[in-house]
Amino acid sequence: MKRPGANAIRAAILSAVVAVLSYLGGRNFTALFHGASATVGGLWSLITSTIVLQKTRHETLDSAWRRLFGTLTGAVLSGLYLSVMPFSLFGMGLCIGVTVLVGQVLGAPDHARLAAITVGIVMVTASVNPDMAPALDAALRFTESVIGAAITIIAVHVWPESLPRR
């Protein structure tokens, strides 16, 4: 079995640190506004940090922008839908389809996938917490993504990238 190198160890530690910090940041932030979905908020921040973290700072920043744009798109579209209609599987499917279509038309398929995931989380959160205002649900899910992305960006800037192999 091959021994892990410095890059593998760095990646493992960095992944663990940003996941835990993102979970705590998302959970604690969401608890201020809607305690019933605080755990989902932590999970959503953790998922964002996992998606955003890449091999280099540049790739991490690029991934963060894609994640935040996709999350904003999905949060807005699902929030608008939930402001007019209650949660339903048909409605969730319709919102995901429209969201992916918007991303495809804009030439941003990566954004479309991330936006579709956001639609799913906003819609499912709404079904579990029907008393939560759709605007609050969408805003929390977007802000949790910002928290996860920000923690990840800070972490990759605090922990220097590894030196190239000679």
Q: By CB neighbour count within 10 A (0-12 exposed, 13-18 middle, 19+ buried), where does 149 fall?
A: buried
pLDDT at 107: 82
Q: Is the pTM of this model over 0.85?
A: yes
pLDDT of residue 5: 77
Look at residue 74 in the predicted model and tell me its pLDDT.
Answer: 93
**pLDDT value, residue 10:** 84
pLDDT of residue 106: 82
Model confidence pLDDT, tens digit, residues 69-79: 889 999 999 99
Low pLDDT (below 50) residues in the chain: 163-164, 166
The residue extents of the domains of the chain are 6-158
Strand runs labelled E in the chain: none
